[in-house]
Amino acid sequence: MKKLEQMYEGKAKKVFRTDDPERFIVEYKDDATAFNGQKKGTILGKGAINNRMTNMLMQVLEKQGVPTHFVEELSERETVVKKVTIVPLEVIVRNISAGSFAQRYGVEEGIVFDEPTIEFSYKNDDLGDPLMNQYHALALKLATKEEIDTIKSMALKVNAVLKEFFLGVGIKLVDFKLEFGRTTDGTVILADEISPDTCRLWDKETNEKLDKDRFRRDLGNVEGAYQEVMRRLMGE
Ligand code: TMP
Ligand code: ASP
C-alpha cells in the first residue's frame, strides 16, 4: 500500500491517504498536549508505544466482537486503518472518580462506582470539547438515535473487556475516552486510539498513576509510566 498525502494532523497523530480509497494510514507522534492544547510537550517514545498498544487492544476487542478500524501495523509508528468519518463525540467511560468528574462534583478521586458511567463531549477544539448530553448530540445531528445507542453499548462492551484485561496485568482502568467512526457503508466502528494518552491507568496495588496525568499534572517519570504499561501488556 502506498502512503499518499497527509489529510489531517491532530495533536498526537497524522492521517494519510493511501492508494486504497478504503484505507488510511495513521502515524503516531511523540507530541503531547493537555488542557485543549494550552500545555505542550514531548513524551519520548510515546508514539511507538501508543501505536503498538492501541493495535494490541483493538485486536483483543475484535476477538470479543467489537468492530474496530484496525487493519495492519505497518511500522513502529504507522498503522493501516479502515477509512471512517469520525463521529464528533468524545465518549468517556468511567469506573472510578477522577479528573473532570471529581472536579465537577467536588468529590475525591478514587471512589469506585457500582456501575460505569458514560458521558459525551462535543469534539470541537474551538469550543474546548464541551460536555454534551445525547439529546444535544441528536439536536445538532452529530449522530442518529440508533448510532448513539450502538455507541453506548459498544463503549460499555469495550469497558467490560478492557477492565478485565488490564486487571490481569495489575492495572485498574479508571476511565477512558473513545472515538467512533462511520465506514463508507455507514457502519459505526471503534476508531482513534486506546493508550495512556486516552485512559487513566492506576497500579492495582499502589494506585500509582501510569498515564498522561503524569504529564498533565507534572508528576515526573512520564516516559517511565508509558514504558511500564507497555512492559506489562506486551512483556517488554
Ligand atoms: P477527564 O476526567 O479530564 O474528563 O478525562 C476523562 C478521560 O478521558 C481520561 O482518561 C483522559 C481522557 N481524555 C482524552 O483522551 N482526551 C481529552 O481531551 C480529555 C479531556 C480527556
Ligand atoms: N489531548 C487533549 C488536549 O490537548 C487533552 C488531554 O488529554 O488532557 O487538549
pLDDT digits (tens, 9 = 90+) for 76-108: 999 999 999 999 999 999 999 999 999 999 999
Residue 181 binned pLDDT confidence (cut-offs 50, 70, 90): very high
Tell how far the Cα of 72 is from the centroid of ligand 1, in angstroms: 26
pLDDT digits (tens, 9 = 90+) for 34-46: 999 999 999 999 9
Q: What is the share, in percent, of the chain residues with pLDDT greater than 90? A: 99
Instruction: Give me the mean pLDDT over the 133-138 stretch.
Output: 98
Q: How far is CA 212 from CA 29, 104, 218, 223, in A?
A: 14, 20, 10, 10
One-letter amino acid at 204 equals K
Tell how far the Cα of 121 is from the centroid of ligand 2, in angstroms: 13
CB 124 near ligand 1, within 6 Å: no
Is residue 188 within 8 A of residue 87, CB to CB? The reply is: yes
Name which residue leads in pLDDT, 170 or 235. 170
Instruction: Give me the mean pLDDT over the 30-35 stretch.
Output: 97
pLDDT digits (tens, 9 = 90+) for 141-156: 999 999 999 999 999 9
Please report the pLDDT score of residue 40 as a whole number.
98
Residue 121 binned pLDDT confidence (cut-offs 50, 70, 90): very high
Tell how far the Cα of 199 is from the centroid of ligand 1, in angstroms: 7
Tell how far the Cα of 220 is from the centroid of ligand 2, in angstroms: 18
Residue 138 binned pLDDT confidence (cut-offs 50, 70, 90): very high
Ligand 1 atom closest to Cα of residue 213: 11
Query: Which residues have CB under 8 Å from 182's CB, separation 6+?
Result: 84, 85, 87, 147, 188, 189
Q: Whose CA is nearest to atom 11 of ligand 1?
A: 198
Tell how far the Cα of 35 is from the centroid of ligand 1, in angstroms: 10
Is residue 164 within 8 A of residue 173, CB to CB? The reply is: no
CB 210 near ligand 1, within 6 Å: no
Ligand 1 atom closest to Cα of residue 200: 10
| Torsion angle, alpha carbons of 202, 205, 208, 213, to 10 | 10
Residue 235 binned pLDDT confidence (cut-offs 50, 70, 90): confident
Residue to substitute in 13, 38, 92, 100 for testing ligand 1 pocket (most ligand atoms within 8 angstroms of CB): 92
Mean pLDDT of all residues belonging to the chain: 98
Q: What is the share, in percent, of the chain residues with pLDDT greater than 70? A: 100
Please report the pLDDT score of residue 75 as a whole number.
98
pLDDT digits (tens, 9 = 90+) for 182-195: 999 999 999 999 99
Nine-digit cell at 46? 510515546
